[in-house]
Amino acid sequence: MKKVIFLILVIFLTGNLYSQDTLRIGDKAPKINITDYILNAPKDKKIENKFIILEFWATWCAPCLGSVPHLNDLQNKFKSRKDLFFLSLTYEKPEKTKRTLEKVKFKTIVVSDQTKKTETNFNVEGIPHTVLIDNKGIVKWIGKPYELNSTMIENFLNGQNILTDNIELKTEKNEGIEAEKKESEINTYVALGFLKDKNTQYIFSLINANKNDYGMAIENFAKGKYIDLNNNLKSILSKIIKKPESQIIIPNALIENKYNLLYKNSNNVDVEVHIKNLKNNLLNSLNLTEIIESKNIEVYNLKVKNVKKINISVNQNEEESHNSDNDTHFVFSNSKIETLIKEIGDYQKIIIFNETGLNDNLDFIIRKGNLNELINDLEEYGLILEKVSKEIEFYNYK
């Protein structure tokens, strides 16, 4: 199912479907191109004739960061093996990566390939993505980091089959994951709304999604592109109308549903037109109308407390923002402050107004904790929450 979604993304965002030879177990591994050693660089940087556990990740990928403690544990168990390298490879600049390393502790060798040649050569379709390469340069295993365990690595180092009948791979967590996979294979993706013109200048698609997958959104309205994967209707509407979920009311029958939303409009129109088109198409697909009502309630204002701590993104010229989450954290990369406000407000079930005056693209890693922990995390980034009473609008969709 995830490969299907990836191909849909390629078609909708680029308008092209391309094919590459898929990297398989038993193939000669492509060259690993490293432009920067960022953390835990070995004295001997030669990777030839080494056993390699290659992990593709990025600072904006919350599932990647959620896998770090597991990989750290595995690295620690095999730290005596000087012929084994745990390589955590991103395509991002060192200065951007180092900010994340201050929040998330990596014990692996953190490197960057700013050319992105390695991702291309290894046919990486999504992250996190793990590849095991033996000391002869042969690919021995491809999968996700949570699927990897110490017994598999021991077999890898001993030249044995990594997966054998006598290995108990299914931890309680993995059994749950396998059950989810089986359930998702039974589920059918149903198209709820679809629009396309003959020149593929304009595409809108709304498809029901697997309820168990993590959500992810990529917004680039400046270029007429928007993706929202595996998210519920409140979350999707919240991003589009730039209002917190607590101000949005939807029919009870739609609360539990998750959707994959894709929008591409190559016509030369303003951002506000893109947003209006997207919202109208979404509401029409679900036969909903919008009614706005006002109420006076307690809310929070977000303000700047210490401007020197504001974590401005390294490259302000990047047009795409990323936000994702795992079990413990939200991760925002190159995002506007409104995106942070929406996500943390929805999680804490509070309404937050932007009083920061910040217009730059920002980077944050915020815990999924209680309100006091949120306040502490925000203070680390030079921000403060203040409780006030305000009359606000509620958006009712019927």
pLDDT tens-digit profile of 249-264? Answer: 999 999 999 999 999 9
Banded pLDDT at 242 (limits 50, 70, 90): confident
Condensed to tens digits (0 to 9), the pLDDT of residues 368-387 reads 999 999 999 999 999 999 99
Give the C-alpha separation, 235 to 139, whole Å.
40
Do residues 251 and 315 both lie within one domain? Answer: no
* One-letter-per-residue 3-state SS of 66-115: HCHHHHHHHHHHCCCCCCEEEEEEECCCHHHHHHHHHHCCCCCEEEECCC
398 lies in some domain: no
19 lies in some domain: yes
pLDDT score of 13: 45
Q: What is the chain's mean pLDDT, rounded?
A: 86
pLDDT score of 6: 47
Read off the DSSP letter of residue 226: E
Do residues 26 and 149 both lie within one domain? Answer: yes
**What tokens does 384 get?**
């403060």
Banded pLDDT at 125 (limits 50, 70, 90): confident
50 lies in some domain: yes
Give the C-alpha separation, 102 to 38, whole Å.
12
Looking at 140, 160, 179, the residue that finishes a domain is 179
The whole-number average pLDDT for the span 80-85 is 96
Give the C-alpha separation, 205 to 115, whole Å.
32
Do residues 28 and 173 both lie within one domain? Answer: yes
Amino acid symbol at 8: I
Interacting residues of 96 by C-beta distance below 8 A, sequence separation 6+: 59, 313, 314, 315, 363
Do residues 51 and 142 both lie within one domain? Answer: yes
Could you tell me the residue range of the domain that residue 193 belongs to? Answer: 189-288
Banded pLDDT at 170 (limits 50, 70, 90): very low
pLDDT at 1 over 50: no
Number of domains in the chain: 3
pLDDT score of 17: 40
Do residues 202 and 164 both lie within one domain? Answer: no
Instruction: Count CB neighbours of 30 within 10 A.
Output: 17
Banded pLDDT at 319 (limits 50, 70, 90): low
Looking at 179, 201, 228, the residue that finishes a domain is 179
Do residues 310 and 370 both lie within one domain? Answer: yes
Give the C-alpha separation, 218 to 189, whole Å.
21
Banded pLDDT at 7 (limits 50, 70, 90): very low
**What tokens does 198 get?**
């003959």
Q: Which residues pair with 87 in a beta bridge?
A: 54, 109
